[in-house]
Amino acid sequence: MQDQTLTCRDCGKQFVWTAGEQEFYAQKGFTNPPSRCPDCRKLKKAEVRENRKMYTVTCANCGKEAQVPFEPKGNRPVYCNDCFKQSRQQPGA
């Protein structure tokens, strides 16, 4: 793989897609090159996060109120950030 120069579809600026980035994309199973430059990708991600609908839930572990970026369906427990992190640190979780 070699570095490739691509053109951003949003701002029209040229950017380099490095061989290392191409390897990363391949490892993740991505088949298309990025269509936005790194700056426009950051802006797009920030825009999506800003416009994301958040849902208020009660933590299934501690009972604290929390905000989550998905609509709970009721068939699985939902945790606050602290309890979720704790569950990830426990062996077998």
Task: Spell out the long-range contacts of 21-27 with Cβ–Cβ below 8 A and sequence spacing 24 or more.
Answer: none
| Per-residue pLDDT tens digits of the chain, which is 93 residues long | 899 999 999 999 999 999 999 999 999 999 999 999 999 999 999 998 888 999 999 999 999 999 998 999 888 999 999 999 988 887 655
Question: Residue 20: phi, psi to the nearest 5?
Answer: -65, -40
Looking at residue 58, its pLDDT comes to 94
For residue 16, the model assigns a pLDDT of 97
How is the chain split into domains, by residue range?
4-51, 55-89
